[in-house]
Every structure is written in structure tokens, then in C-alpha cells.
Structure 1
Amino acid sequence: MLNLERLRTLDALARHGSVSGAAEGLHITTSAVSQQMSKLEREVGQQLLAKNGRGVRLTDAGRLLAEHAARILSQVELAQSDLEAQRGQVAGELRVAAFPTAARGLFPAALRDLRERHPALRVRSREQEPEQGIRGVVRGDLDLAVVLDWHNKPMPLPDGLVKAPLLDDPADVALPAGHRFAGRDEVDLADFAGDEWITWGEGEFCHEWLMFTLRSKGIEPIIGHRAAESHTQLGLVAAGLGVCIAPLLGRDPLPDGVATVPLKQRVRRHVFVVWRADADRRPSIRAAVQALRAAGESVGATSESPTAASAAS
């Protein structure tokens, strides 16, 4: 009989494409991955891995078995979800991730609420950018991820994921307190055509959104500095090094020397949580979504839609 943990290792290899990636996703050593694969090859009597330069690749037999492993593991997930739902207990382990400002603005309240209400549930959290969070949920490395898109640039979601809105997060422009526009009631993005922007890392979803939005207004942005973390961006603004977009979630306290001004064309991030459809019935998923929505309401923003996905109801 095929060993489920060894099939899980094979599935991780197929999804991550390397022994080191599979080890990281499974939170085990690369040696453990190699040992599991050696045992699985002996079980099936066929070679599943072949050397590929300095790495490995799946053989034809390996790819065939990996396809079956993915379906088997999905059925196991469904069975676990059904058993959890029948038992009705919020227990076990839940692995969650959020982009940095959501981790700071939502996780403290939501995870405290889960610990107080459901002491048998063990939550493990991490910060990850939205694209990484979505990939983690698809691969099975995460149970939930808090992600975002913008009012004019949706985040594409792979098939097989469920989402529920948490809040709409308004964003202002943050600028040095001595900036010529610091005292205005509102500004237009076009007002900053000659300013240096402090933005996210190249290729990140929020950076691409900013480039798309500015260019759609005929502005070729001047990028002065890049920083993944919003408070680092605000620190650079405080030093007079440029301006940045400053969403409300996780923003406070503002550093001394920084002013924020609303935009005439209101800019909002849509913050939502995603999970796999085959885990939809898990009570722990439902409890976590409810805790995250309550945390979102506490920051003063409102959900985009009064109707969440099925697990939030």
C-alpha cells in the first residue's frame, strides 16, 4: 500500500520543482525529502526521480504518480474537512499568512480572538506578499491567506480557491510635512508628476498597480526608492526623500514629519481572505474568517460586499 506521507512528499516535489523547495514547503530537511522518495521508489519498484544538472526532475512514472498523489491528497483534505464539520470542533492547526500591513493591522486582534474562543486551535502565522500567499494556499503550504487587490486592478485567483471580503482599505498620499501640498484638503495624482515616488519592490503587485495607475494618467513615474514595508516607506517620506501611497490599514502611528492628504479620485484596496475549496467545510476556516472580518470592522473600514463566501456565513 502506498504511504500517504511519501505521496505528500512527491506532491510537494512536483509543485515546488526542487528538493529544497519541497523541504521548505513541508518544513522538513532536504535529507528527509530524499529519504522519503527513496522509500517510495522501493515501494512502487520504479524510478521516480532523475538527475537534472545539479537538481532533479520527475521521470514519466514520477509525473504519473504525482498526478494521482494530488488527487489522493485532495480527497484526504475533503475527508478531513467533512470529519471536522461533523464533529463541529474548532481544533488542530491552522497555517495563515497576510501581507505586512494586514499582518500588523488584522492579525493581533483576530488571532487573539481565536485563541480566546478556541483554545484547542493552534494558529501559525507568517507575513507574505499577496502573490506568495496565494501560491502557498494553492500548494497546500497554507490554509488561509489574507491578500489584496486595488479598485482598478483585480488580483487574479487560480481555480479551486474560495474568497471572502474582509474590508475596503482607503489610501492617501503620504508626503513630507513641508511639502507644497501638505495643507491641501485633497490632491490629484497628476499633481505629483515631478515628485519622486517611494514604492514597493519591482514586480510586486502593489508596485505594478502604482505604475499602471500613474501611467494611465499620462505620468511616467520617477522612482526614487523601493521598500517592501510601509513603515520603511513612511520613514523615507519623513526624511523628505519622496512621496508614497499610504493605505489606512496598519498605518498608524505616522512618523513625525509625515502628512497624509486624500486623493480626489478615491483609492481603495480590497482586502480579502482566500482558502482552498476542498477545505471549505472546516470549522477552523469558518472561525478564522469570522475573526478576521471582526478585526477588519474594528479598523473602521467596511466590507466590499454584505455577502461573504460560504465559509464566512
Structure 2
Amino acid sequence: MLNLERLRTLDALARHGSVSAVAEALHVTTSAVSQQLGKLEREVGQQLLAKNGRGVRLTDAGRLLSEHAGRILSQVELAESDLEAQRGQVVGELRLSAFPTAARGLFPAALGTLRGRHPGLRVRSTELEPEQGIAGVVRGDLDLAVVLDWYNKPMPVPDGLVKAPLLDDPADVAMPVDHPLAHRDEVDLAEFADDEWITWAEGEFCHEWLTFTLRSKGIEPIVGHRASETHTQLGLVASGLGVCIAPRLGRNPVPEGVVLVPLVQRVRRHVYVVWRADADRRPSIRAAVEALRAAARSVG
């Protein structure tokens, strides 16, 4: 009979592509991964892996079995979800992620609520950018991910995922206190055509949104500095090094020397949580979504 843990390891290798990445995803050593795959080869009596430079690749038999493994593990998860739903208890392990400002703005209250109400639930959280969080849910490395999109740039959500809105997060322009527009009640993005921008890392969804939005107004952004953390961006603004977009979720405390001015076009991020449809009946998923919504209401 095929061993589920070994099938899980093979499935992870098919998804992640290397033994070291599998070890990181499954929180085990590379030696343990190799041992599991070796045992699986002996179990099926066929070669599943072949050397590929310094790494490995799946053989035809390995790819065939990995496809079956994905379907088997999905059915096992569905069975576990149904059993958990029938039992009606919020127990076990729950793995979730959020982008940094949501982790700061929502996780303390939401995860504190879960611990207080459901002591039998073991929660594991991490900070991940939205694309990484969605990919983790799709792969099965995460149970839920708090992600975002912008009012004018949606985040694609793959088939097989369920999403629930948490809040709309307004964003302002952060500028140094001596900026010529710092006294204004509202500003337009077009007024910052000559300013240096402090933005997110290249390739991050929020950076791509800012570039897309400024270019739609005929502005080629002048990027002076990049930082993934809002507080780092605000610290650079306070030093007079540029301006940035500052969503309100998780941004406090704002450093001295920074002025926040709303935008005329009322820029907003849509924040929501996603999970796999085959886990929809799990009480732990429902409890986590409820706790996140309550935390979102308290900051909204």
C-alpha cells in the first residue's frame, strides 16, 4: 500500500522542483526528504527520480505517480475536512499568511481571538506577499492567505479557491512636512510627476500597481528608493528622500516629519482572505475567517 507521507513528499517535489525547497516547505531536513523518496521508489519498484546536474528531476514514472499523488492528497484533505465538519470542533493545525501591513494590522487581534476561543487549535502564521500567499494556498502549504488587490488592478485568484472580503483600505500620499503640497486637504497623483517615489521592491504587486497607475496618468515614475515595509518607506519620507503611497492598515505610528494627505481619487486596496474550496467546511477555516473579519471591523 502506498504511504501517504511519501506521496506527500513526491507531490511537494513535483510542485517545488528541488529537494531543498521540499525540505523547507515540509519543515524537515533534506536527508529526511531523500529517505522518504528512496523508500517510495523501493515501495513501487520503479525509479522515480533521476539526476539533473546538481539536483534531481522526475522520471516518467515519477511524473505519473506525482499526478496520482496530487489527486489522492486532495481527496484525503476533503475527507479530513468532512470529518472535522461533522465533529464540529475547531482543533488541529492552521497555517496562514498575510502581507506585512495586514500581518501587523490584523494578525495580533485575530490570532489572539483564535487562541482564546479555541485552545485546541494550533496556528502557524508568516508574512508573505499576496502572490506568494495565493501560491502557498494553491500548493497546500497554507490553509489561508490574507491578500489584496487595488481598486484599479485586480489580483487574479486561481480556480479552486474561495475568497471573502475583509475591508477596503484607503491610501494617502505621505510626504515630508516641508513639501509644497503638505498643507493641502487633497492632492492628485499627477501633481507628483517631478517627485522621487519611495516604492516597493520591483516585481511586487503593489509596485506594479503604482507604476501602472502613474503611467495611466502620463507620468513615468522617478523611483529613488525601494522598501517592502511601510514603516521603512515612511522613515525615508521623514528624511526628505521622497514621497510614497501609505495605506492606512498597519501604518501607525507615523514618524514625525511626515504629512499624510488624502488623494482626490480616493485610492483603496481591497483586502480579503482566500482558502481552498475543498477545505470550505472545516470549522477551523470558518473560525479564522470570522476572527479576521472581526479584527478588520475594529480597524475599519
1:196 is aligned to 2:196: yes
Q: Which residue of 1 aligns with 2:6?
A: 6
Equivalent residue of 1:272, what SS?
strand
Equivalent residues in 2 for 1:178-257 (5 A)? 178-257=178-257
1:117 is aligned to 2:110: no
State the alpha-carbon separation in 2 of the partners of residues 57 and 291 from structure 1.
42
1:190-213: CA deviations, max 9, x gaps? 000000000000000000000000
1:205-260: CA deviations, max 9, x gaps? 00000000000000000000000101000000000000000000001110000000
Equivalent residue of 2:249, what SS?
coil
1:170 is aligned to 2:159: no
State the alpha-carbon separation in 1 of the partners of residues 120 and 145 from structure 2.
21
1:8 Cα deviation from its structure 2 partner: 0.1
* Amino acid across the alignment from 2:259: A
Equivalent residue of 2:157, what SS?
coil
State the alpha-carbon separation in 2 of the partners of residues 294 and 179 from structure 1.
37
Q: Percent identity between the aligned chains? A: 85
1:69 Cα deviation from its structure 2 partner: 0.2
Q: Which residue of 1 aligns with 2:56?
A: 56
Please, which runs of 5 or more residues in structure 2 have no aligned partner?
A: none
Q: Which residue of 2 aligns with 1:65?
A: 65
* Amino acid across the alignment from 2:135: R
1:159 Cα deviation from its structure 2 partner: 1.3
State the alpha-carbon separation in 2 of the partners of residues 119 and 18 from structure 1.
36
Please, which runs of 5 or more residues in structure 1 have no aligned partner?
A: 301-313
Equivalent residue of 2:148, what SS?
strand
1:89 Cα deviation from its structure 2 partner: 0.2
Q: Give the RMSD, CA atoms, in angstroms.
A: 0.5
Equivalent residue of 2:2, what SS?
coil
State the alpha-carbon separation in 1 of the partners of residues 108 and 97 from structure 2.
13
1:102 Cα deviation from its structure 2 partner: 0.1
State the alpha-carbon separation in 1 of the partners of residues 73 and 30 from structure 2.
21
Q: Which residue of 2 aligns with 1:310?
A: none
* Amino acid across the alignment from 2:3: N
* Amino acid across the alignment from 1:257: G
Q: Which residue of 2 aligns with 1:155?
A: 155
State the alpha-carbon separation in 2 of the partners of residues 9 and 260 from structure 1.
49
State the alpha-carbon separation in 2 of the partners of residues 60 and 126 from structure 1.
35
TM-score by length of 1: 0.95
Equivalent residue of 1:156, what SS?
coil
* Amino acid across the alignment from 2:225: H
Deviation >3 Å, runs of 4+: none
State the alpha-carbon separation in 1 of the partners of residues 189 and 292 from structure 2.
32
State the alpha-carbon separation in 1 of the partners of residues 280 and 13 from structure 2.
25
Count of residues in Structure 1 that have an aligned counterpart in Structure 2: 300
State the alpha-carbon separation in 2 of the partners of residues 153 and 290 from structure 1.
26
Q: Which residue of 1 aligns with 2:263?
A: 263
1:76 is aligned to 2:76: yes
Q: Which residue of 2 aligns with 1:33?
A: 33
Equivalent residues in 2 for 1:274-293 (5 A)? 274-293=274-293
1:158 Cα deviation from its structure 2 partner: 1.3
1:160 Cα deviation from its structure 2 partner: 1.0
